[in-house]
Amino acid sequence: MKALIAGAGRLGTQIAQVLAAAHNDVTLIDLDDDRIAELDGRLPVRLVAGDACEPNILEHAGAHTTDLVIATTGNDEDNLVISLLAKRQFAVPRVAARVNDAENTWLFDQQWGVDTAVPAATPLISLIEEATGATDTVALLRLSKAGVDVIETAITPQSHAVGCTLAEITLPAGSVIATIIRTGQPTVPSPEMRLRPGDELLVVSHSATEQEIHAAFQ
């Protein structure tokens, strides 16, 4: 999944770290050149200096091909403008925005391009779950501190798993499919779900190698 985060404050930076840990393609934008310079080399994400309220900056950051935009600036007006541009001008499939002032919550709706409005007091993990729609993935990412790996694999037209249900796939011991990204949208997997070419899977495992996970699907 490609994610674009506007606002490199504490919240935006933490979201970028978690999404990047799940091997997502993450871009982080901030108006403050010094903040971008400070983060350079510290995060496994693409950094863009500029005003995310400007269409040309969003375009430069890859908004035309991104799957998810999260507006996390400390200014509600900016978050609304970013959301509206993302949805209306760049047709981003999923847009989430932080609500800093509770009195402005009523503005954060689909008329402003916001799919998910998240109050500022919402815990980080809950915010990412709401934004991505991938509750299981984010919850399982918490296990990474205990030596659990998140491994990504893709289904190609040549994969032997094409057309199989998840129940028919034999995974290495200690592994579980956390989410399936289909047409850019994270989906909570179910046993009867059939795999299609183009599906991207995030598999959580505490013992299997990347090669073993790939072999289960390819």
pTM above 0.85, yes or no: no
Which CATH superfamily, name and number, covers 140-217? Answer: Regulator of K+ conductance, C-terminal domain (3.30.70.1450)
pLDDT in tens, the chain (218 residues): 899 999 998 888 878 877 887 778 999 999 999 999 998 888 889 999 999 999 999 999 999 999 999 999 999 999 999 999 999 999 999 999 999 999 999 999 999 999 988 887 766 555 666 666 654 555 545 544 445 566 778 888 999 899 999 889 888 887 878 778 777 666 777 888 899 998 888 787 777 788 888 888 98
- Helix (H) / strand (E) element for 71: namely strand 68-71
Assess contact for 217 and 153: CB atoms under 8 A: yes
Report the chain's terminal Cα–Cα distance, integer Å.
20
Domain range list for the chain: 2-133, 140-217
Per-residue model confidence (pLDDT) at position 207:
74
pLDDT for the residue numbered 130: 65
Q: Sign of dihedral through CA atoms 2, 182, 96, 119?
A: negative
Asked if residues 149 and 140 have their Cβ atoms less than 8 Å apart, the reply is no
Query: Tokens representing 170?
Result: 């034999």
Two structure tokens written together for 136: 């299981």
Predicted confidence at residue 145, as pLDDT, reads: 45
Q: In what order do the strands lie in the sheet with 25-30?
A: 46-49, 25-30, 2-6, 68-71, 94-99, 116-119
| Coil, helix or strand at residue 64 | helix
Locate 34 and state its tokens: 């010094």
| CA 163 – CA 53 distance, rounded (Å) | 43
- Report d(CA 37, CA 156) in Å as an integer: 38
Q: Does domain 2-133 have CATH number 3.40.50.720?
A: yes
Tokens (6 digits) for 199: 């599906």
